[in-house]
Amino acid sequence: MNILRDLQYELPADFDLSAQVPRNTIMGAIIGIVAILAMAIILTVYIRKRQKGGIFDIIVGVAVYMIFFYFASNTVANLLFGTILKSFVDVKPVLITVIALTTTLVPMFGRLLSLKLMGKNMNTVADAYTVGMGIMLTEGFLYMVDLLMVIVSCNTINKMGLESILSNATSQDEFTSTLTSLTEMINYRASDFLYMSVIAIALMVFHVGVTSLIFAAYQKKEGKRLYIFSFVTYFIIQLIGAMANYDVIPDGAKALITALVAALVAYIGLKVYNIHYKNEEPREKARIEKENTKMPKFDNLSKL
């Protein structure tokens, strides 16, 4: 069977059916996963050494991310552009601004709502940080899943070949869609995954750093300016992200600005933590030690 001859749909004249995804591109994605996983472990250890919330707090963090950062923000943006902003869907400045606003307002509302609803059960900085850890881990996990899917797709292209994949198309639309996806995969560079991993790590650092800012403002230990600062910095990250997605700025600029903003938030967040919550660490360690003493000892179990 001559697959090339049997391709019945329109193919660009300059398209190379023998093209493959470079090995260093795939390695870039693998390194990205390892880097994100390493940062997740580092941040988790950093938090747990200082403040230890319960497993319920982590579950709340995961739920907040999935509901507000992921589903709700996308749903609100789609509803806006499907109704009152329908005529602006092709106006890039409006599109970018609205997407940035919705993906900032909805997640920040979710974090505040979680504090409000769980106020009686989550009234310590340990709880707040563990919720933030749940958000951070979910962010990192989803980025790793995206990179893993890219690796699998790239390996499939290299193993099966473009001709074999394209020959499965049953319509011109499906053929064109598949061709577009394959072209995107082949054109990936290792630097694309470097930028992606930098952005993921920066967002993870942001989620941890912003925790003390939001919690201190919530407890009224600091003024509402920390709410504003948290919102503005996250809006900048989302705005830069939307601009990069619509090719207004390069991905390298997106990664750099996101990292700088996250570093600033982490720095301010650490200062706020040291001012208001550093003195709680001895009490937290004493509480944990007290709980550990209540646990049964099985050291002499082998002697029974």
- Whether the CA torsion 148, 32, 180, 103 is positive or negative: it is positive
Q: Which residues of 132-152 are buried (b: 16+ CB within 10 A; e: fewer)?
A: bbbbbbbbbbbbbebbeebbe
Per-residue pLDDT reduced to its tens digit, 233-264: 999 999 999 999 999 999 999 999 999 999 99
- Output the average pLDDT for the chain: 87
238 burial (CB, 10 Å; 0-12 / 13-18 / 19+) is: buried
Confidence of residue 304 (pLDDT cuts 50, 70, 90): very low
pLDDT of residue 285: 63
Per-residue pLDDT reduced to its tens digit, 85-101: 888 888 999 999 999 99
45 burial (CB, 10 Å; 0-12 / 13-18 / 19+) is: exposed
CA 136 – CA 45 distance, rounded (Å): 13
CA 188 – CA 10 distance, rounded (Å): 23
pLDDT of residue 4: 47
Closest CA to 188 of 160, 151, 148: 151
The fraction of the chain above a pLDDT of 90, given in percent, is: 59
Non-local CB neighbours of 138 within 8 Å, separated by 6+ positions: 61, 62, 65, 66, 69
From 30-39, 189-198, 239-248, 275-284, the region with the lowest mean pLDDT: 275-284
Residue whose pair of structure tokens reads 């207004």 in the numeric block: 248
Non-local CB neighbours of 65 within 8 Å, separated by 6+ positions: 107, 134, 135, 138, 139
pLDDT at 22 > cutoff 80: yes
Per-residue pLDDT reduced to its tens digit, 52-80: 888 889 999 999 999 999 899 989 988 99
